[in-house]
Every structure is written in structure tokens, then in C-alpha cells.
Amino acid sequence: MSKSFKNLVTGGLGFLGTNLINKLLNNGETVLCIDNCSTGKIGNIKESWDNKSFHFIKHDVLDPIDFNVERIWHLACPASPVHYQLDPVNTARTIFIGTENMLRLAQKCHARILLASSSEVYGNPTIHPQNEDYKGNVKIIGKRSCYVEGKRFAESLCYDYQRMYNLEIKIARIFNTYGPEMSIKDGRVVSNFVTQALKNEPITIYGDGMQTRSFCFVEDLIEALIRTMECEYSCPLNLGNPFEISILDLAKMIKLKTSSDSKIIFNPLPEDDPLKRCPNIKKAQKLLKWKPNISLEKGLELTINHFKKKLNLN
Ligand code: UDP
């Protein structure tokens, strides 16, 4: 008979996965973490390594697995544009095949499954802020499409499994998230700017910096994920912080908070980079009785302090 665990976290060595696992372990639950160690690193989870409730298997979601689990948190997939565009075919396969493998496992052991979907399903949005009913403005054949269309298809597959096999599915559309444990080499904007500012290197804005994003502190996001898994609704939910800021203002804020001498420089905007992004979180607020609590100012301070340690700048 296969082994039993309360939680399976795929992509558990990534930024969200490690934070989620720490929270589940703190709640006294057993966790099986699987990860192919492509972007996630074992060092990310060293605090949990000696916890008897924590189990790790190096495994790629492209291959099926067989365990008895009650809840599947399906997070596996590189999420930084720099990383997911390195091998777009593998990104698309990881999302399509990986999601189907996890849905099959959920079907077999009657597990509840949460798909980590993304604000990317809205593409370059033409309505603002984005609510869950918005169908998106997505380029089918662009460089981001492997991830964007991948997540859209993964959502659609989840609902097909729900309709055909009565699966309990949860869809979290996760907006930009940041926090202390982000990798210095993550390639996304907060990690890049904080590292550059602390090292007094040029802060690299792509485009004119007028594009906007809305950043959620990781602790708030993890709380929302847990509530999504535990709630009885299966509609897609936007999870993020609706405080919207331009990338130029983010650069200035980080420069100020780090007392940095960095210059702000402007590089070309990557292809299909969305010009605006901000979640409408009314649904999550109502259904999960949740809202983000940590302001960007506070969250950046926590992140900067942690990055100083990582970069040995204390
Ligand atoms: N960006 C930037 N400089 C960087 C990294 C990112 O100006 O060093 C911009 C990027 O072009 C995008 C925004 O910051 O407009 C957020 O990018 P990120 O890669 O963090 O996530 P995305 O929201 O695009 O998935």
C-alpha cells in the first residue's frame, strides 16, 4: 500500500512552496514535498529538514507518482518570466502534463487539489483592476504564452476533471508576490531591485517604468492560499494585494529604503510585458474573510533586511 500524508506540495522548494510548507508544519500537519530542484533548492527548506512531519522526494511532476494524500497543493512550475522562458516547451509540458498527473492522483485518492494559477491568465489586461470574470487579453503565440496559455489550460483541465469526476478543486490566481526568502537570482523585479540597490549597482528598469504591478507580501498570500484550500467554493479567486505602483516608483522606494547610491537606468521592455496589473479581490475578501495586512513599505523593509544578511552586508 502507498504511504499516506496529509499534504502534498509540488514545487515545494520554491519561494511560495517553502513558505507554505513552514506554515503547514507549524500547524502540526504532515507534508510530502516534491520538487525537481530546477529552480527550487534544498537549502531553501533547511529549517524543516529535521522535522519528522516533513518528507522530501526529488521528483518531476512530468512523471506520475502514487501516494495517499488528502490535499494537493500544485505549485510546481518556474514562475519568473526569465526562468519560464528559458525552456518554454518544458514550461508548457510541466503545466499541462504536471497538472494532469496531479489531477489523476487527486482522483485516485479523493484528495482536494489547489492549482496555483496566476494573474498571467489575464495577459495584458484591458479592464482594470482585473476581476475573476474578465476573460483576459492574451497573445497566443508570444514568448510568455507557454506560461500564460499553460495556466489557462490548467484551469480548464481542473474544471473538466471536476465535471467528469466530481473532484474538489480550488483555483488560486496569484498576483505578484515578494518576501524575504526570494532568491537573489529570482530575476523578478523586487529581488532584482533590492539586490542592485544594496550593492549600489544600477537599478534596471525595463521600459519607461510607467507599467504597474501590485505586490503582495508572502505571509499574506500564504494565509490566503490556506483559506482557499479550506473553503467550500471552487470558483477561481484572485489572491494579491490591490495596492498598485509603477515600476519607476517601486525603484525609487527601494532606493530610498536602502539609502542606496544606485543610478536608475532604463533597458528595453521585454516582449508582451503587461502594462498594468492590479487584482480586484472582492471575491476573496468575501469568501475567505481575508485581506492583505502588510503594506508594501513594511514588506519591503522586512525583505531588505533579509537580503542584507544574504548578501553579507550587515
Ligand atoms: N522589471 C524591471 N526590471 C527588472 C525586472 C523586472 O523593470 O529588473 C519589470 C518587468 O518588465 C515588469 C515588472 O517589472 O514590467 C514586473 O516584472 P516581474 O518579472 O517581476 O514579474 P511579471 O509581473 O512581469 O511576471
Q: Whose CA is nearest to atom 10 of ligand 1?
A: 206
> Residues lining ligand 1, judged by CB closer than 6 Å?
81, 176, 188-189, 192, 204-206, 211, 213, 247, 269-270, 273
Query: How far does Cα 94 stand from its chain's mean position?
Result: 15
3 state DSSP class of 71: strand
Question: CA torsion 165→168→170→171, rounded to 10°?
Answer: 0
d(CA 97, CA 62): 6
CA of 168 to the centre of ligand 1 (A): 34
Give average pLDDT by consecutive 10-residue segment, the chain, 314 residues: 87 96 96 94 84 96 96 96 95 98 98 98 97 97 96 98 97 97 94 98 98 98 98 96 98 98 97 96 98 98 96 82
Pocket probe for ligand 1: among 173, 213, 255, the residue whose CB has the most ligand atoms within 8 Å is: 213
Would you say the pTM of this structure is higher than 0.75? yes
CA of 157 to the centre of ligand 1 (A): 29
Neighbours of 107 (CB within 10 A): 15
Would you list the DSSP string of 164-228?
Answer: HH---EEEEEE--EE-TT--TT--SHHHHHHHHHHTTPPEEEETTS--EEE-EEHHHHHHHHHHH
Active site residues: 147
**Predicted local confidence at residue 312, as pLDDT:** 87
CA of 5 to the centre of ligand 1 (A): 37
